[in-house]
Amino acid sequence: MITLITGGSKCGKSGLAEKLLDRFFTDKIYIATMQPYGEEAHIAISRHRKLRAGKGFSTIEKYTGLHELDIPAGSHILLECMANLCANEMFGSEGICDPTERIMFGIKRLAKTADQLVIVTNEVGSDGAAYSPETNRYIEVMGRLNALTAELSDNVIECVYGIPVVLKGQIV
């Protein structure tokens, strides 16, 4: 089962994602995609570690190449987050221009192995601000990734001010 959680920044997506996996006590894997660049990233990573402390997660830090992971069958996976993964793929050392196919291959591969796959993403295209061509390209790719992942998902939930709003399926 795949559950996609989306929403704006600091709206409770991560807490909801972890809560959805609370009922599982074993085989919980947290795939962290945020590269620890700068003080803000270190603060966010520290906050997320505190949030999931004592919840039984094994953490895998995987900034790019999601498709390379070998995850045990029947695992309960939290992928945090697709927006970081996309940025890492697009603007990292390999500089993949459009990582959509590569990321979707990784998600599908995880979904085949996992019992539960919860994916956190961000709503990045709704503010209407003008950005550089590179940022506009990122927003376009994220929109496509979010749409493809939502289509593949059993459940799609938008987190609005900490309130989960079910767009597809149900909260399980």
Number of Cα atoms under 13 Å in the Cβ half of residue 39: 0
Task: Determine, yes or no, domain membership for 155.
Answer: yes
Question: Which residues have a Cβ under 8 Å from the Cβ of 19 and sit 6 or more positions away?
Answer: none
Task: Determine, yes or no, domain membership for 172.
Answer: no
pLDDT score at 151: 98
Distance of CA 163 to the CA centre of its chain: 18
Question: Which residues have a Cβ under 8 Å from the Cβ of 32 and sit 6 or more positions away?
Answer: 45, 48, 59, 60, 61, 62, 80
pLDDT score at 126: 78
Task: Determine, yes or no, domain membership for 145.
Answer: yes
The backbone torsions φ and ψ at residue 79, rounded to the nearest 5 degrees and listed phi first, read: -100, 115
pLDDT score at 163: 95
Range of the domain at 100: 2-167
The amino acid at 148: L
Looking up residue 156, the CATH number of its domain turns out to be: 3.40.50.300
Within the chain, which residues score under 50 in pLDDT? none
Distance of CA 50 to the CA centre of its chain: 18
Whole-number Å distance between alpha carbons of 119 and 78 = 6
pLDDT score at 101: 96
pLDDT score at 90: 93
Task: Indicate the pTM of the whole model.
Answer: 0.91
Number of domains in the chain: 1
Task: Determine, yes or no, domain membership for 140.
Answer: yes
pLDDT score at 41: 77
pLDDT score at 96: 66
pLDDT score at 108: 98
Q: CA of 88: how far to CAs of 2, 10, 97, 154, in Å?
A: 23, 20, 11, 26
